[in-house]
Structure 1
Amino acid sequence: MTVTGIVLAAGDGSRLGGRAKALLPHRGRPLLHSVVDALEQGGCDRTIVVVGAYADEVAAVCPPGTTLVHNPRWEDGMSTSLQRGVDAAAGSDVIALTVVDFPGINADLVRAVLTAHESGTVTLPSFGDRPGHPVVFDLVDAVAAAQQATGDEGARSFVSRNRDRVRRLDCAGLADPGDIDTVDDLHRLN
């Protein structure tokens, strides 16, 4: 079974003052490195990073061994990045999908979600009432989620339409579920 991690990192960080979230400092290195390390150490065989707004800058710091995919339509929303990432993951059996602005991700969290995943389900980590990342799909479901996604919603509508197949995994205590959207959120980085 081949497990591919997909990191959505194409946005322009407009709510953060126009900065590449992938480049934010986290534990002495770019946040992107922490996210990729968590996926790979947690059980992903390969990692795809989807870039857009700051493609050249992110490419310059992309960890060795990752597959970089450029999304020229990043301005059309997260759905286009999801589509590009899933297309690049062809041949995989399982997809672990995350966003780059989730500094709490770690190998234990990724491993727990991958271990709990069962074929035919969508495994969604939850932190109390709050859904989180990485979301784990069989490739066929990731393809369907990418095809159904529109605008800036990513896989959310697919997950909502398939609630009967969603397996929520309580991950409270494994990670801080907060993401980095605004300047006020920067305290989560260290």
Structure 2
Amino acid sequence: MTVTGIVLAAGDGSRLGGRAKALLPHRGRPLLHSVVDALQRGGCDETIVVVGAYTDDVAAVCPPGTTLVRNPRWEEGMSTSLQCGVDAATDADVIALTVVDFPGINSELVRAVLSAHEPGTVTLPMFGERPGHPVVFDLADAIAAAQQARGDEGARSFLSRHRNRVRRLDCAGLADPGDIDTVDDLHRLD
């Protein structure tokens, strides 16, 4: 079984003052490195990073062992990045989907979600009442989620339509689920 991690990193960081979130400093290196490292150490066989707004800057620091996928339609929203990432995951059996602005991700969390995943379901990490990442899909479900996604919603529509197949996994205590959206969130990088 091949597990592919997909990191959505194409946005322009407009709510963060127009900064590439992938390049934010985190533990002495770009945040992208922390996210990719967590996926790789957590059990992903390959990792795809979807870029858009800051393609050249992010490509310059993309960690070794990753596949960089350019999303020319990134301005249309997260759905287009999901589509590009899933389209590039040609050898995957399972997809672990995450966003680049999640500094709390770690290999323990990724390993827990991948270990709990069962074929025919979608595994959704939960932090209390808050859903998080990485979301784990069988490839067929990831393809369907990408096809159904519109605008900036990512896989939300698919998850809502298939509630009966979504397995919520309690991940409280495994990671800080906070993401980096605005300047006020930068403290999460410490």
| Structure-to-structure mapping, 1:150-189, within 5 angstroms | 150-189=150-189
Q: Is there any run of 5+ residues in structure 2 with no aligned partner, and where?
A: none
Q: Is there any run of 5+ residues in structure 1 with no aligned partner, and where?
A: none
Q: Give the aligned partner of residue 41 of structure 1.
A: 41
Q: Give the aligned partner of residue 23 of structure 1.
A: 23
Partner SS state of residue 115, structure 1: helix
Any idea what the Cα deviations from partners look like across 1:24-73, whole Å, max 9, x if unmatched?
00000000000000000000000000000000000000001100000000
| Structure-to-structure mapping, 1:79-94, within 5 angstroms | 79-94=79-94
Any idea what the Cα deviations from partners look like across 1:95-127, whole Å, max 9, x if unmatched?
000000000000000000000000000000000
CA distance in 1, matches of 2:52, 2:10: 4
CA distance in 1, matches of 2:157, 2:73: 20
CA distance in 2, matches of 1:150, 1:36: 25
Matched letter for residue 117 of structure 1: H
CA distance in 2, matches of 1:61, 1:31: 10
Deviation at 1:167, TM superposition (A): 0.2
Q: Give the aligned partner of residue 125 of structure 1.
A: 125
Partner SS state of residue 72, structure 1: coil
Matched letter for residue 117 of structure 2: H
CA distance in 2, matches of 1:189, 1:163: 32
Matched letter for residue 81 of structure 2: S
Using the aligned pairs only, state the percent identity.
87
Deviation at 1:91, TM superposition (A): 2.2
CA distance in 2, matches of 1:39, 1:62: 14
- Size of the alignment, in residue pairs? 190
CA distance in 2, matches of 1:92, 1:34: 22
**1:136 and 2:136 aligned:** yes
Deviation at 1:90, TM superposition (A): 1.5
Moved over 4 A (4+): none
Matched letter for residue 140 of structure 2: V
CA distance in 2, matches of 1:7, 1:125: 16
